[in-house]
Amino acid sequence: MATGALLWASSPAKGTETNVCLTPTTRVSQMIGAKAATSPDALSSLASDGVKPSPSGKGNGNGPDTSHWPPKPWPHGMVWVPAGEFVMGGIGSDARKDEFPLHHVKVDGFWMGTTVVTNAEFRKFVKVTGYLTTAEKKPDWEEIKKTLPPGTPKPSDDVLVAGSLVFVPTDGPVSLNDPSLWWKWTPGASWQHPFGPKSHLEPKDDAYPVVHVSWDDAVAYCKWAGKRLPTEAEWEYACLGGGPPRHYLWGEQSPSDTFHPANLWQGGFPYEKKPFDGYLYTAPAKSFEPNGYGLYNMIGNVWQWCSDWYRDDYYKTISSQPKLAVNPTGPTDSHDPDDPATPKRVNRGGSFLCNSGYCASYRPAARMKSSPDTGLLNVGFRTVMTDDDWRKQLSKNNK
């Protein structure tokens, strides 16, 4: 297993602290000089601190317009996103540099998962294949150090073990330039033990997003299911739900303690979670109002992996081309100026940790990046497939 491990991303540029998401961008970034994680008992108590769902979190029940969908049968748990053109990129004062320039994109129609992949769906995959996720494997230091700056010290053996990064609230206000204050490398944390070895999934958790899955894990699931990850262009187009490009998916009103259109953070970050939206951490995958295509939680809840490599200058490159970008699949390699040694893939959609004072990534155009081996408590994925691929699956299954 090749493990791309790096240090924390650099601090945000001056004046951008309120809209830059300083999330661990590599699996073992927290291993480098890691301190003892919060005790398993404390993490277990966090996991059990449940909150009743919010009535406002339900969909509208009307469903998407299926009159222009391909002929039946349709793939289970997926909705049709019709072909179209849109303007891709940042809108609003909190848009970031890597969301520009704006550029026109055309995508063909495709099927997309109504929700992100759930614990129940991922468990089926694991049961059939015996797959072990990245978080369940011990990191290989010899592979890790190949992508680190020369002289990076080896983490101690007690932290160089199977595990993942868990969000742990701080006791009070802290500097928002140091995410290691609230992200803890936790041995034994994985999709089955989201808060550490003493936490476990319960039957009710079947409907929740699977988390602590790396890009590599997501791709493995997709291959097994006969699907794939969406491209960054497909994801943004689908997120808009058939409407025009806009600041927020729901319009111009900013989320707040009294307006919560998605599962986001309310209260002082990262110490004071006030779950006015009904959820302390993740929400069921089918929560809140679906968008115009019938897709749930495209914004908030968990970040979603895309297939593309991340480059900060990709939009500049693609917008300079004379022809309309048709079904763009992203750059051929990765470059992150904050952390140039580590290749990264794109995440989209924001998560339950996003808020106006720290990470305003609850926008259709917002981009994040992580190394392919990174798994976090707030990262999941959604699948797509073309109609041609669906018809091939049907034909194969009918033989």
In this prediction, residue 41 carries a pLDDT of 44
The mean-pLDDT minimum among 27-31, 112-116, 198-202 falls in: 27-31
The number of folded domains in the chain is: 1
In this prediction, residue 59 carries a pLDDT of 38
In this prediction, residue 318 carries a pLDDT of 96
The mean pLDDT of 3-10, rounded to a whole number, is 32
This prediction has a pTM of 0.88
Residue 42 resides in a domain: no
In this prediction, residue 30 carries a pLDDT of 52
Residue 392 resides in a domain: yes
Residue 395 resides in a domain: yes
What's the CATH code of the domain at 291? 3.90.1580.10
Residue 165 resides in a domain: yes
Residue 44 resides in a domain: no
In this prediction, residue 143 carries a pLDDT of 80
The confidence band for 359, taking pLDDT boundaries of 50, 70 and 90, is: confident
Distance in angstroms (rounded) separating the CA atoms of residues 200 and 222: 25
Residue 73 resides in a domain: no
Residue 137 resides in a domain: yes
Residue 51 resides in a domain: no
The mean pLDDT of 119-134, rounded to a whole number, is 98
Q: Has residue 26 got a pLDDT over 80? A: no
In this prediction, residue 259 carries a pLDDT of 94
Query: Which structural domain, as residue segments, surrounds residue 368?
Result: 78-399
